[in-house]
């Protein structure tokens, strides 16, 4: 292994990568030598992010896609592999939030969150799994949340998606570990991004996107005879 660039030549696909956590992960993996496929719904923001990565010397393919749409997932994986090569690392980071009492929520709210935060992970993992099985190796890293472990008022739909994601991650890990494929989840607390409002909180004390990226990097460089199944990430100080 190249200790300076331990992911040299590997292909990583990161969803929700035009900003925040996803962009930080893409930047970190590219710095470790990976060729990165970045995906997001907004094509203009995605291209700006990709250009930023290219200026740092990264090999990048920017593929706009809405992962809540099953019809776009096959295209996303196919284009990534055409441009970069077989996907060896999948980081399921794309996610949306909805925060309101259940009695005020609609079925459309439920569908939007669950389709993005949970169904997309199932479909993307299913899309890359055959290739990983054939190569007898690979990584799937799912960005979950402490909301997948803790309930709170107004969080019913979001918490349901993240609790489900942790259950899916554990089962995927058991299904795929016989083929040398390692499946992991990262559960961060609140991260200083524009994902949700942080009114009245000191964002300097919150987790930063780079903190989550660092956890992904640790998972991907674990020795081959073991894997880190779950990382719970909290700030050292409460914001």
Provide the terminal-to-terminal Cα distance of the chain, rounded to the nearest Å. Answer: 39
- Annotated catalytic residue 98: no
With beta carbons less than 8 A apart as the criterion, state whether 102 and 24 touch. no
Strand pairing report for 60-64 and 89-92: unpaired
Q: Would you call 45 helix, strand, or coil by DSSP?
A: helix
Query: Which one from 21, 24, 158, 235 is the annotated catalytic residue?
Result: 158
- Rounded Cα–Cα distance for residues 204 and 67 (Å): 31
Outline where the chain has alpha helix (H).
20-31, 43-55, 70-83, 107-114, 120-135, 156-176, 209-220
Question: Kind of pairing, strands 11-15 and 89-92?
Answer: parallel
* Helix then strand then coil, % of the chain, to nearest 5: 45, 15, 35
Catalytic residue numbers, as ranges: 158
């Amino acid at each position: 292994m190249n200790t300076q660039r331990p992911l040299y030549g590997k292909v990583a696909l990161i969803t929700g990568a035009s900003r925040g956590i996803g962009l930080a992960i893409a930047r970190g993996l590219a710095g470790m030598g990976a060729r990165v496929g970045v995906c997001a719904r907004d094509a203009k923001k995605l291209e700006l992010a990709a250009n930023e990565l290219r200026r740092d010397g990264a090999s990048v393919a920017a593929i706009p896609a809405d992962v809540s749409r099953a019809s776009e997932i096959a295209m996303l994986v196919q284009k990534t592999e055409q441009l970069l090569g077989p996907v060896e690392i999948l980081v399921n980071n794309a996610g949306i939030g909805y925060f309101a009492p259940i009695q005020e929520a609609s079925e459309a709210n439920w569908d939007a969150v669950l389709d993005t935060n949970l169904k997309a992970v199932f479909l993307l993992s299913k899309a890359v799994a055959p290739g990983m099985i054939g190569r007898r190796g690979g990584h799937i890293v799912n960005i979950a949340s402490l909301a997948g472990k803790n309930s709170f008022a107004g969080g019913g739909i979001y918490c349901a998606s993240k609790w489900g994601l942790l259950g899916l991650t554990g089962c995927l890990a058991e299904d795929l570990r016989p083929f040398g494929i390692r499946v992991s989840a990262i559960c961060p607390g609140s991260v200083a991004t524009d994902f949700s409002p942080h009114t009245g909180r000191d964002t300097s004390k919150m987790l930063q996107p780079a903190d989550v990226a660092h956890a992904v990097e640790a998972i991907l460089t674990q020795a081959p005879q073991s894997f880190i199944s779950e990382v719970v990430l909290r700030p050292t100080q409460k914001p």
